[in-house]
Amino acid sequence: MFFSIDADGDVPIYEQIVRQVKLAVADGILVGGQMVPSVRQLAGELAINSNTIARAYQELQSDRVLESLRGRGMIVRRDAIKRCTKARNSLVADGVRRALADALSGGMTAEELRELFEAELERQSAMAEQSKLASGNGAS
Amino acid sequence: MFFSIDADGDVPIYEQIVRQVKLAVADGILVGGQMVPSVRQLAGELAINSNTIARAYQELQSDRVLESLRGRGMIVRRDAIKRCTKARNSLVADGVRRALADALSGGMTAEELRELFEAELERQSAMAEQSKLASGNGAS
Amino acid sequence: MFFSIDADGDVPIYEQIVRQVKLAVADGILVGGQMVPSVRQLAGELAINSNTIARAYQELQSDRVLESLRGRGMIVRRDAIKRCTKARNSLVADGVRRALADALSGGMTAEELRELFEAELERQSAMAEQSKLASGNGAS
Amino acid sequence: MFFSIDADGDVPIYEQIVRQVKLAVADGILVGGQMVPSVRQLAGELAINSNTIARAYQELQSDRVLESLRGRGMIVRRDAIKRCTKARNSLVADGVRRALADALSGGMTAEELRELFEAELERQSAMAEQSKLASGNGAS
DNA sequence: GTGGTCTAGACCACA
DNA sequence: GTGGTCTAGACCACA
Q: Which of A80, A105, A126 is the last residue of a domain?
A: A80
Do both B74 and B17 map to the same domain?
Answer: yes
Do both C18 and C56 map to the same domain?
Answer: yes
Residue B137: band (very low, low, confident or very high) from pLDDT cuts 50, 70, 90: low
Distance in angstroms (rounded) separating the CA atoms of residues A66 and A58: 8
Provide the strand spans (E) within A52-117: 66-69, 73-76
Q: How many domains does chain D have?
A: 2
Do both D126 and D99 map to the same domain?
Answer: yes
When mean pLDDT is compared across A8-17, A125-134, C52-61, the lowest value belongs to: A125-134
**Is the Cβ–Cβ distance between A5 and A56 less than 8 Å?**
no
Do both D21 and D47 map to the same domain?
Answer: yes
B11 touches chain A (CB under 8 A): no
Q: Which of D60, D80, D100 is the last residue of a domain?
A: D80
Q: What is the mean pLDDT of residues A60-69?
A: 96
Q: Is residue A140 part of a domain?
A: no
Do both B26 and B49 map to the same domain?
Answer: yes
| Number of neighbouring beta carbons within 10 Å of residue A35 | 13
As ranges, strand F nucleotides with an atom below 7 A of a protein CB are: 1-9, 13-15
Pick out chain C residues at pLDDT < 70: 1, 136-140
Do both C36 and C52 map to the same domain?
Answer: yes
Distance of CA D5 to the CA centre of its chain: 11
Q: What is the pLDDT of residues B2-54, one digit of tens each?
A: 789 988 888 999 999 999 999 999 999 999 999 999 999 999 999 899 999 99
Distance in angstroms (rounded) separating the CA atoms of residues D82 and D90: 12
Q: Is residue D8 part of a domain?
A: no
Taking an 8 Å cut-off on Cβ atoms, the answer to whether A120 and B97 are in contact is yes
Q: Which of B80, B102, B117 is the last residue of a domain?
A: B80
Q: What is the pLDDT of residues B72-90, one digit of tens each?
A: 889 999 999 999 999 999 9
Residue B136: band (very low, low, confident or very high) from pLDDT cuts 50, 70, 90: low
Which residue is closest to E8 in terms of CA–C1' distance?
Answer: A49
Taking an 8 Å cut-off on Cβ atoms, the answer to whether D69 and B7 are in contact is yes
**Is the Cβ–Cβ distance between B46 and B85 less than 8 Å?**
no
Window A:30-89, CB contacts with B under 8 Å: 84-85, 88-89
Q: Is the pLDDT of residue D113 over 70?
A: yes
Angle (deg, nearest 10), helices D80-105 and C80-105: 170
Q: Is residue B52 part of a domain?
A: yes
In terms of pTM, does the model score above 0.85?
yes
pLDDT of B71: 83
Do both B92 and B33 map to the same domain?
Answer: no
Which residue is closest to F8 in terms of CA–C1' distance?
Answer: D49
Do both C105 and C65 map to the same domain?
Answer: no
Do both A109 and A130 map to the same domain?
Answer: yes
Q: Which residue of A has its CA nearest to D58?
A: A59
Q: What is the mean pLDDT of residues B88-99?
A: 96
Q: Which among C55, C72, C66 is positioned nearest to C33, based on CA atoms?
A: C66
Query: Chain C interface, mutation test: which of D30, D115, D121, D123, most C Cβ atoms within 10 Å?
Result: D121
Q: Is residue B6 part of a domain?
A: no
Do both B71 and B110 map to the same domain?
Answer: no
As ranges, strand E nucleotides with an atom below 7 A of a protein CB are: 1-9, 13-15
Q: Is residue D140 part of a domain?
A: no
Which CATH number do you get for residue D40? Answer: 1.10.10.10
Q: Is residue A2 part of a domain?
A: no
Taking an 8 Å cut-off on Cβ atoms, the answer to whether A97 and B120 are in contact is yes
Q: Which residues contact D17 (CB under 8 A, 6 or more apart)?
A: D3, D5, D52, D53, D56
3-class secondary-structure state, position C128: helix
Q: Do chains B and C touch by CB distance (3+ pairs < 8 Å)?
A: no
Does the CB of D63 sit below 7 A from strand E? no
Q: Is residue B66 part of a domain?
A: yes
- The domain containing residue B34 runs over which residues? 13-80
Q: Is residue B121 part of a domain?
A: yes
Do both D27 and D42 map to the same domain?
Answer: yes
D117 touches chain C (CB under 8 A): yes
Distance in angstroms (rounded) separating the CA atoms of residues D2 and A77: 38
Burial class (CB in 10 A: 0-12, 13-18, 19+), A17: buried
Do both D71 and D88 map to the same domain?
Answer: no
Q: How many CA atoms lie within 13 A of B11 on its CB side?
A: 13
